[in-house]
């Protein structure tokens, strides 16, 4: 079967930027015009094959499929919060053609059997590509390392104890050395538990006024500094998750200047919101790390602008009302983000913090590079493509989410721009208002 994506502005940073047609046969790109010729004129193929779908992308942006490096699918073990089917459908709705499934499931993804289970479920029910992230330590307990070679062979793409820090510095060093042998990025949840324990929001005057225990910036930045030091020692690829503080951005920037092999991500809520969103004891604004000050938010934006922060990832963390409609101190950390990420990223472009091309780098090109995935809009490559309508305006309605989670602080926000078509391997897995 042939598919023609016609007349869109194709942006593949470092490769393409212009109004072009993309011709797809089955799961592969076979031609791009201005013509990167196929084995014949595409028009001749049209005449010979009546099974052709034409997608009019005029006025829209066509980009390599977006990849979310940080998603909690909750399956196995907490399917009442999210399943692989609903989570990947939410990803497709948000424009993502692939996602990294974090390991803090029940049971933890710390063994071949669980990794293979996730991949089998994704094959049978998933709408997008699922890349399992395996645990650093058995049971996320920070005591014994998992078998990284076995996990990679089973399909793991990286390792992380996300949700818990690896407090033992010696264990983290060994993890980096071991992971380096297999080319696995180490994704670090940077948190000093002794400083964050008992806290439920950012430390400061707002927390004091609300009678809540606070979490200081140093609970994150001290561990960022430690892991950068271990990265420099071992030469392993360290990727720092959900960066939220000014001090962390400075440390990562300095490390990159020294040539340390560290990359970093932040989430849309950290470059959009501040701790003010918690006022009124809004549990949909409770997360870990917590929303920080305006100075921290500005530093995150600066880190995105100058390349210190490589990736925008959602840290999609669905919860049910059982975990969120409770006292603030008791509420679970986390928000859903797959279905609002593109819109919030486009606001960075509108505010001239980053360019449209830089946004695509941080949501597609850089995640693919970090994860050693071959994703680009070129002849012969897999047709994993996202089409974005930058002009469409809408109001966020959490009740319409494909995710089972409704825990978003952005409900009711007026947004401009969103993904309107998501294609995985030449197959349209989500389509919204496009002819």
Please enumerate, by residue number, every residue annotated as part of a binding site for substrate.
72-74, 104, 288, 319
Tokens representing residue 6 in the block: 């016609």
- For 228, phi then psi, to 5°, come to -65, -40
What's the angle, vertex CA 32, arms to CA 47 and CA 355, rounded to 5? 145
Q: Residue 375 contacts by C-beta under 8 Å, 6 or more apart in sequence?
A: 64, 65, 67, 98, 364, 365, 368, 381, 382, 384
Tokens representing residue 55 in the block: 């997608």
Catalytic residue among 12, 296, 315, 389: 315
Determine the Cα–Cα distance for residues 160 and 166; give it in Å rounded to an integer.
9
Going by the annotation, the residues of the binding site are 70, 72-74, 104, 162, 189, 242, 288, 315, 319
Alpha-carbon distances of 86 from 75, 141, 163, rounded to whole Å: 10, 29, 21
- 391 included as an active-site residue: no
Start-end of H helices in 131-214:
148-154, 169-181, 193-196, 205-210
Going by the annotation, the residues of the binding site for Zn(2+) are 70, 72, 162, 189, 242, 315
**Residue-wise DSSP of 232-262:** HHH---EEE-S---HHHHHHHHHHHHTT--E
Q: Residue 43 contacts by C-beta under 8 Å, 6 or more apart in sequence?
A: none
**316 - beta bridge partners?**
71, 335
Give the catalytic positions in this structure: 315
């Amino acid at each position: 079967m042939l598919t023609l994506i016609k007349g869109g502005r194709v942006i593949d940073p470092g490769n393409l930027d212009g109004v072009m047609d993309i011709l797809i046969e089955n799961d592969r790109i076979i031609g791009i015009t201005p013509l990167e010729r196929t084995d014949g004129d595409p028009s001749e193929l049209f005449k010979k094959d009546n099974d052709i779908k034409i997608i009019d992308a005029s006025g829209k942006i066509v980009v390599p499929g977006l990849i979310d490096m940080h998603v909690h699918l909750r399956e196995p073990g907490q399917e009442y919060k999210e399943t692989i089917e609903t989570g990947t459908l939410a990803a497709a709705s948000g424009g993502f053609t692939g996602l990294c499934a974090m390991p803090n499931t029940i049971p933890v993804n710390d063994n071949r059997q669980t990794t293979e289970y996730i991949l089998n479920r994704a094959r049978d029910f998933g709408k997008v590509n699922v890349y399992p992230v395996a645990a650093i330590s058995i049971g996320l307990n920070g005591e014994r390392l998992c078998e990284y070679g076995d996990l990679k062979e089973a399909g793991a793409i990286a390792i992380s104890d996300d949700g818990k820090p690896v407090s033992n510095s010696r264990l983290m060093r060994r993890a980096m050395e071991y992971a380096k042998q297999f080319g696995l990025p180490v994704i670090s949840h940077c948190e000093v538990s002794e400083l964050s324990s008992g806290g439920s929001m950012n430390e400061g005057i707002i927390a004091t006024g609300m009678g809540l225990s606070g979490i200081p910036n140093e609970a994150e930045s001290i561990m960022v500094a430690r892991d950068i030091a271990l990265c420099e020692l071992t030469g392993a690829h360290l990727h720092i998750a959900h960066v939220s503080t000014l001090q962390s951005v400075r440390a990562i920037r300095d490390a990159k200047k020294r040539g340390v092999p560290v990359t970093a991500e932040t989430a849309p809520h950290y470059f959009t919101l501040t701790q003010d969103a918690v006022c009124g004891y809004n549990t949909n604004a409770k997360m870990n790390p917590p929303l920080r000050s305006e100075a921290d938010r500005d530093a995150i934006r600066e880190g995105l602008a100058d390349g210190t922060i490589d990736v925008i990832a959602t840290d999609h963390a669905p919860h049910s009302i059982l975990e969120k409609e409770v006292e603030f101190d008791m509420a679970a950390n986390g928000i859903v983000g797959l279905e609002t990420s593109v819109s919030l990223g486009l606001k960075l472009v509108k505010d001239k913090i980053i360019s449209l091309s830089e946004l695509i780098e941080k949501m597609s090109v850089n995640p693919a590079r970090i994860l050693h995935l071959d994703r680009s809009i070129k002849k012969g490559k897999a047709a994993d493509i996202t089409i974005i309508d930058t002009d469409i305006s809408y109001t966020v309605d959490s009740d319409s989410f494909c995710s089972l989670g409704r825990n978003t602080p952005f409900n009711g926000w007026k947004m401009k721009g969103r993904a309107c078509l998501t294609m995985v391997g030449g197959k349209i897995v989500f389509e919204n208002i496009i002819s």
